[in-house]
Structure 1
């Protein structure tokens, strides 16, 4: 049976020895958020990805099945899973208590934190854009009905109305 491993640094190795597979898994102990995992792919297309956070994902991108995962997998167990896949023993891998999806669902707290961070970034980007619009020209009035402000350069609108015309939502800054 044929298999290859991709290290967390992106190097591909065909049929590494047991010792080399342990070394590749050991690389996950080093901190590197940009390279969080390594994986073994069998000639059947099945892949076992092992992350630095002890998450194992089992999938075959060429099949109709969804990815599955295990959490808190010790390196020794990860090695055994790799050995099982390298041997092509898919039936034995199917016996594992796989959970649906490529990772566990996010908690409400994690979702809230991500939404808060996304909103913070959006406000920051909105402010940068708004500030880049430059000064309003009082001698050329904004064409938005009833607006007493002047238009900005290269627009018929003042800063808030130019923002709203592009983003199709209310301007969060001064009117």
Structure 2
């Protein structure tokens, strides 16, 4: 399965390991209006975008391949710790979307 991350500058990193994911996520400390998020996208179309929100993060969970499908509308997860984001990124990297779907309230 293939996946990639996008850092704050928009640079793609193919199949990053957990340490690289953490480094990219740590980059959110420098987020601004022009570069507000980082993301992990799986080849199945599902994507998690992480945005800073004080000490915690909020996530946008969406399927980029089915953006026009009302049953696949983007959902938010608020107040998420960095460790939980890393865990969810790891699940998505393997294509395991069930736990993310559960947390996103689908």
Q: Which residue of 2 aligns with 1:58?
A: 61
Work out whether residues 69 and 99 of structure 1, in 8 Å CA contact, stay in contact via their aligned partners in 2: no
Deviations 1:146-165 (A, max 9, x none): xxxxxxxxxxxxxxxxxxxx
Deviations 1:44-99 (A, max 9, x none): 00000001221100001222210011111111111111001001101222221x26
Q: Structure 1 residue 31: deviation in Å?
A: 4.6
Alignment of 1:25-174 (within 5 A): 25-53=25-53, 54-63=57-66, 64=69, 65-96=72-103, 98=104
Q: Structure 1 residue 33: deviation in Å?
A: 2.5
Q: Structure 1 residue 8: deviation in Å?
A: 1.0
Deviations 1:4-32 (A, max 9, x none): 00001110010011100000000001252
Higher relative contact order (CA 8 A, sep 6+): 2
Please give the TM-score of this superposition, normalised by the length of structure 2. Answer: 0.86
Q: What is the distance in 2 between the residues matched to 1:70 and 1:99?
A: 9
Q: Which runs of 4+ in 1 moved over 3 A?
A: none
Larger strand fraction of residues: 2
Gaps of 5+ in 1: 101-175
Q: What is the distance in 1 between the residues matched to 2:60 and 2:102?
A: 14
Could you say which structure has the larger radius of gyration?
Answer: 1
